[in-house]
Amino acid sequence: MKKNPSSIPSSAAAETEFQSSWRLLDKFADTDVFQTLIDNEFKDPADIEKKEIRAIGKVLQYSGKKIPYYKAQFENKKLTASSFASLQEINQYPILTRYDLLNQFELLKPPDLDQNSSKVLLTRTTGSTGLPVSVLLSQESRSMFPILWQRLARWFRLDLDKRFARIRIPPDLFKLEEGKNNPDGNTVGRNSWMHSGLFFETGDEIHFNVSNSRKSQLDWLEKFNPAYLLTFPGLMEELALANNCKPVPSLESLISISSILTTSMRSRIEQSFEVPIEQPYGLNEIGLVATKCSAHRYHVNCEHAFVEIVDSQGQSVNPGDSGRLLVTSLNNSAMPLIRYDTGDLATLSSGNCPCGRTQPSFENILGRYIRFAGTPEGTRPRLNGLLKVLAKMPNELFKNIRRYQIHQMDNKDFEIKVVADGPISEGFKKQLEEVWRTLNSDGEVWGFTLTTVDEIASTPSGKQLDFVSAFHELDSDFATPGN
């Protein structure tokens, strides 16, 4: 696999040296924003905590005065935001669920806010795991995304002079000159990167629709030779399979977005493309929450968000323990989200990070807990067992396979749906059947089949789900245990 230069433990000096290779646009020549990002990454943890307390206190005071929903909540619980003095006090404040966000939308914004102002953007989640919710983002909140993107680019050691490519749904790509969405088969591009090009001199960036065929996407990559590709992890795996698990010569790094990158996906993709995969942690509702370091920890972008890992009662877990991931937005005056339940599970990191950075961190994003909401007991170990064997399976057993999805039927039985353009390896079938017999050793026998299909539908946002259960309920996306 091509070496990833970000795998070396870092320091403020090393980060500054690498960043100096980027050329700021003349109008930003005197800005210290990007040096400040570096300085923040290596501050004394006590100083970071003090800044977090001040930032959270500011959000709590603003919300208690300006936001009707929080004003009522704080008064009901007799909470005084002005006295917020330690991070432990955040446990007293109510958790905001997706259900709350959906049903209390009008009360979660300032009464005098002009929602049609150009300074406010209405964003909407995709709803790929449940009903979508909407959030209003202030100009300050939106402006943080391209700034924090530069931290991502620096940690991933991206060369801004090279070509950057995206494969996504048309609404998320560059528009045609007349403002229309890019049609299938067409390439739309700009002479600078979408986010980095706002501040730095860069190479060009090209976009292609996710709805194009996998063959045309591979041909596109071969034709335009980008160094970096940003797309969904499921699509990366499909491209790897469509290319017979061979690398695309020009690619130096892959950036995964929107969906959880499972162990089996990462293994298959990195083995095939022979390049590292990077994945930040972000939410449509908030923005870039955390950046992943070379030690595989997600360090919180403390300038923009505060993260908690809590138990079923909403209390902070101990380092090394797993729990629900909550995020508080720090820059969104249009609709502040306090202790927002992301629906994801993660582990609170313990000890100093080997990468040298001191920002709070978490790891092992285990996926959305709603992934198993409503499913019968025994679903999780069986799914994880299948994913584990798929991750370890040699590439030659994936010959002719172009896509697969694990599906749980309403009688609890499992099937793996496979899209293939030729015979499926007997070894592929045998390994899955063998592991399934082991997984059924809990005393209850669930059925397992492997089915070939012509197509597996993506979500409207272009995501490819690796697991779908007949027991999933749309409303489960709004159920927050223990709140």
Write the CATH number for 334: 3.40.50.12780
CA distance 193 to 277: 19
Q: How far apart are CA 360 and CA 297, in angstroms?
A: 10
Q: Do 315 and 267 fall into the same domain?
A: no
399-to-426, 436, 478 alpha-carbon distances in Å: 11, 21, 40
287 and 138 in a common domain: yes
Same domain, residue pair 357 and 454: no
Q: Rounded to the nearest 5°, which phi and psi values hold at 141?
A: -65, -45
Contact assessment for residue 228 and residue 162, using Cβ atoms and an 8 Å cutoff: yes
Q: Specify the CATH number for the domain of residue 420.
A: 3.30.300
CA distances 441 to 333, 416, 430, Å, are 53, 20, 17
The domain boundary residue, chosen from 351, 371, 391: 371
CA distance 15 to 21: 10
Spatial CA neighbour of 338 closest among 308, 366, 313: 308
Distance, in Å, from the CA atom of 478 to the CA atom of 104, rounded to the nearest integer, reads: 13
Domain assignment present for 104: yes
Write out the residue range of the structural domain in which residue 161 sits: 156-279
Q: Are residues 390 and 453 in the same domain?
A: yes
The DSSP symbol for 132 reads -
Asked which of 250, 279, 308 is the last residue of a domain, the reply is 279
* Total domains in the fold of the chain: 3
pTM given for the model: 0.82
Same domain for 380 and 363: no
* Residues 268, 295 share a domain: no
Alpha-carbon distance 372 to 14, whole Å? 42
pLDDT digits (tens, 9 = 90+) for 457-474: 876 655 667 788 888 643
Signed CA dihedral, 59, 61, 64, 65: sign only = negative
Q: Do 398 and 428 belong together in one domain?
A: yes
10 occurs within a structural domain: no
* Domain termination residue (choose one: 371, 405, 427): 371
Q: What is the CATH number of the domain that holds 192?
A: 3.40.50.980
Residue 369 in tokens: 């807990």
pLDDT tens for the chain, residues 1 to 483: 665 555 568 999 999 999 999 999 999 999 999 999 999 999 999 999 999 999 999 999 999 999 999 999 999 999 988 889 999 999 999 999 887 888 899 999 999 998 888 889 988 875 444 446 789 999 999 999 999 999 999 999 999 999 999 999 898 999 998 899 999 999 999 999 999 999 999 999 999 999 899 999 999 999 999 999 999 988 898 899 899 889 999 999 999 988 778 777 888 899 999 999 999 999 999 999 999 999 999 999 999 999 999 998 999 999 999 999 999 999 999 999 999 998 888 999 999 999 999 999 999 887 655 456 668 888 878 988 898 888 788 878 888 888 889 999 999 999 999 999 899 999 999 999 999 999 987 778 999 999 999 998 876 655 667 788 888 643 333 233 333
Q: Choose among 361, 369, 367, 412: nearest CA to 387.
A: 367
- One domain, residues 262 and 162: yes
